[in-house]
Amino acid sequence: MTQAALITGITGQDGAYLAQLLLNKGYAVSGLLPRRSSDTLWRLRELRIEGDVNLIDGDVADLSAVLRGIRESKAAEVYNLAAQSFVGTSWQQPLLTAQVSGVGAANVLEAIRLTDPAIRFYQASTSEMFGLIQAERQDETTPFYPRSPYGVAKLYAHWMTINYRESFNLHASTGILFNHESPLRGIEFVTRKVTDGVARIKLGLQKELRLGNIDARRDWGFAGDYVDAMWRMLQQEKGDDYVVATGHTTTVREMCRIAFSHVGLSYEDHVVIDPKFFRPAEVDVLLGNPAKAERLLGWTATTSLEQLISMMVDADMRRAREGRPQA
């Protein structure tokens, strides 16, 4: 019998890569699709899987829609990737962020409890929950100190997942994912803003790249690697919490250097620091310790930052040459 999975946030970066992974493993894949923007399907088209997934209209903020999605998909595994995921926007839309990124997860958990408690659940937690870091390297035992409405909302979802696991014996796991990028990243995120800017500067379409704090440090990996960790969590005997990271940290400045040098340019000639891109409360350093995921899941990041950034610049060069939207 074909295994069935439901992905909320299927049109996002992680949702698209996870759908591709599950399809390659023979799953019947459904996705809950909120109709919030004009073109939400471009990532599925990029991976050439748009016609292979079953899209169900619905929003995680609506419990009835989640219940319907679980029934229609006949899912044995549910991956909750839906979120208002851009940290910067969460200060302008804190209540929407709370409803989608926080309460939305509780809706999915409650829908599973009411429908079939045997369904296995994955919650997309985030390194932004660590915020003002309490340890040099963050692992599953590091205290949380979120520094944005996004981080706070995600922390609620994280603890609700643990609470449902302990209260109702659900197979519920959280992946505390550190920054993970790809050619499918939205243009509002700094890595994609950089690689798109590099491509457009190289092709003469713009002259400068305006950024905020380029000395912030992040642990960056490839989203295509990280969705494999999600799947592995739901194949374990019981649910648990895992940090998913590369274990290496790099500044935005160094990431810029890698991206510009890939096309034979120097970042110092084109990057302009603009105070309007500084966050109200900055997270200066994030560095994950993925030892538990390596030990229990057999998972490790396989794509280097240099490979990742080169992949993203090349994809943005193709888009810019073809005159395609930045997306």
Give 259-302 pLDDT, tens digit per residue. Answer: 999 999 999 999 999 888 776 766 678 899 999 999 999 999 99
Using the predicted structure, report yes or no on whether residue 241 has a pLDDT greater than 60. yes
Q: Is residue 117 part of a domain?
A: yes
Domain limits for position 120: 4-180+221-244
Q: Is residue 114 part of a domain?
A: yes
Q: Are residues 237 and 310 in the same domain?
A: no
Q: What is the CATH number of the domain that holds 198?
A: 3.90.25.10
Among 17, 27, 79, 150, the one annotated catalytic: 150
Q: Is residue 168 part of a domain?
A: yes
Using the predicted structure, report yes or no on whether residue 310 has a pLDDT greater than 70. yes
**Which letter, b or e, does each residue of 233-259 get, where b requires 16 or more Cβ atoms within 10 Å of its Cβ?**
bbeeeebbbbbbbbbebbebbbbbbbb
Q: Are residues 139 and 38 in the same domain?
A: yes
Question: What is the pairing mode between strands 77-80 and 120-126?
Answer: parallel
Using the predicted structure, report yes or no on whether residue 35 has a pLDDT greater than 70. yes
Q: What is the CATH number of the domain that holds 63?
A: 3.40.50.720
Segment 42-86, tens digit of pLDDT: 999 999 999 999 999 999 999 999 999 999 999 999 999 998 866
Residue 164 catalytic?
no
Residue 126 catalytic?
yes
- Overall number of domains in the chain: 2
**Which letter, b or e, does each residue of 49-71 get, where b requires 16 or more Cβ atoms within 10 Å of its Cβ?**
bbeebebbebbbeebebbbbbbe
Q: Are residues 83 and 198 in the same domain?
A: no
Among 8, 11, 97, 126, the one annotated catalytic: 126
Predicted confidence at residue 283, as pLDDT, reads 64
pTM for the model stands at 0.93
Q: Is residue 258 part of a domain?
A: yes
Predicted confidence at residue 282, as pLDDT, reads 60
Among 128, 164, 226, 250, the one annotated catalytic: 128
Q: Are residues 232 and 215 in the same domain?
A: no
Q: Are residues 75 and 168 in the same domain?
A: yes
Q: Are residues 65 and 84 in the same domain?
A: yes
Residue 97 catalytic?
no
Predicted confidence at residue 275, as pLDDT, reads 84
Q: Are residues 110 and 89 in the same domain?
A: yes
Q: Is residue 14 part of a domain?
A: yes
Quick one: pLDDT band at residue 108, thresholds 50, 70, 90? Answer: very high
